Structure 1
Amino acid sequence: MKKDKKLLAIAATAGVSAAAAILLYNAFKVSIPKGAQPIYPFDVRKYLGTWYEIARLDYKFERHLTNVTATYAMNGGSDIKVSNKGFNPGKQAWKESTGKAKFIGPPELARLKVSFFGPFYAGYNVIDVDEHYKHALVVGNNLHHIWILSRHTSIPANIKQRFLEKAASLGYDTKAFIWTKHDLNA
């Protein structure tokens, strides 16, 4: 009887440990959606600066935000400082967050990981950009995170169509995109 209780305790501990390991693995895992290819060659110097969010899929950190921008700057070494800003009309307040991005592999490959919360990183993969680095399509770890970015508050119809077709071909629900409103100056 004692032996059975001991085995049961060992099995329970192993089960809890395995579950914790899976949770930790998923918390630290950085990936790219199946079929998506990061830009290569990628010129990070051309990518730095301010981008306007044109569209995204909804997620909790940007919920209800309009006038969203992302600004990228070198942060010493190969790290990139990421500054996101958006306006919450319901609260009549700007929301800002600052994080860091690091390359996964060589800097000529547009595959990065970004963190706004300590050791937890998410995928940041530039999968399309025009030759002048004025418009970009960025995806996260999975089919729940995607952004269309532009150096201006609007995007040409042909680029928009190209990005929507690429997103749809990867499995993104483009009908669920939130088209970001830009009507304020920060």
Structure 2
Amino acid sequence: MYLLSAFLFSVRRALIPSCRAGLWALWMAGVAVMAGCANTSPPPGVKAVTPFDLQRYQGRWYELARLDHSFERGMTDVSATYTPQADGSVRVVNRGFAAASGQWREAVGKALFTGAPTTGSLKVSFFGPFYGGYHVAALDPDYRWALVLGPDTSYCWILARDKQLDAAQRDAIVARAQALGVDTHALIWVTHKRQDPAHPPH
């Protein structure tokens, strides 16, 4: 959710040379390896949402837009599911369709609050001890959409409970992102046309 994936890929290849699925483990690991796998602070001038309610935030979100990074390049139909755990951590499951391989991919990670659980600032790991920041910079009062940033404004995701937003909502979120310093002209809008086999229709 999240990056410097090339760095982590080189580390992972050195540690586990036989793991050819390593690159996939980096998908959304930008959230886990941003800024040299160490920076878990929000971007300068950005404050994470307070109050934040994990019980309302949990569940599945669809990735509607993102800034381009290699770990997620070419992915469509992307979703993230957050599940609170008994130890206070959050299980993170990211899924998406890789057009290049024609396959669904999944990455499982863990998130921890960096401070009070009433503030939407977490650190996420998809690979061992490497964590990176995940900061909810704006959030719909009804928890229908979220604007998430990494350690700087080159990492930005727009998430929603539904696969699309109406034009007014979309424009308002983009304006908020732009006000925080995000290059919104570079946003990639994610298509959602496939049915994820892990989430069959009810």
- Residue 181 in 1 paired to residue 186 in 2? no
> Number of paired residues?
162
Q: Does 1:94 align with 2:127?
A: no
After superposition, the CA RMSD in angstroms is 1.2
In the alignment, is residue 29 of structure 1 matched against residue 39 of structure 2?
A: yes
Tell me the equivalent position of 1:70: 80
State the partner residue of 2:159: 149
TM-score (norm 1): 0.84
Q: What's the CA shift for 1:167?
A: 1.2
The residue number in structure 2 matching 1:5 is none
Where does structure 1 lack aligned partners over 5 or more consecutive residues? Answer: 1-24
Q: Which moved more, 1:108-117 or 1:149-158?
A: 149-158
Flag as ranges the 4+ runs of structure 1 deviating above 4 A. none
Task: Kindly provide the CA deviation profile for residues 108-142 of structure 1, in whole angstroms up to 9, marking residues without a partner as x.
Answer: 00000001011111110011111110111110111
Which secondary structure state, in structure 2, belongs to the residue aligned with residue 167 of structure 1? helix
Counterparts of 1:102 and 1:137, CA distance in 2: 18
SS of structure 2 residue aligned to 1:61: helix
Contact 2:54 2:84 in 1 (8 A): no
Query: Equivalents in 1 of 2:166, 2:146: separation in Å?
Result: 12
State the partner residue of 1:158: 168
Amino acid at match of 1:75: Q
Percentage of pairs with the same residue: 42
Instruction: Report the counterpart of residue 61 of structure 1 in structure 2.
Output: 71
Deviation at 1:159, TM superposition (A): 2.0
- Confirm or deny that 1:114 pairs with 2:124: yes
Partner of 2:142: 132
Contact 2:58 2:82 in 1 (8 A): yes
Matched to 1:90, the amino acid is: A
Letter in 1 for 2:171: Q
**Residue-by-residue CA offset, 1:39-85 (whole Å, 9 max, x unaligned):** 10001000000000000001122110000000000122210000000
Which has the higher Rg, Structure 1 or Structure 2? 1
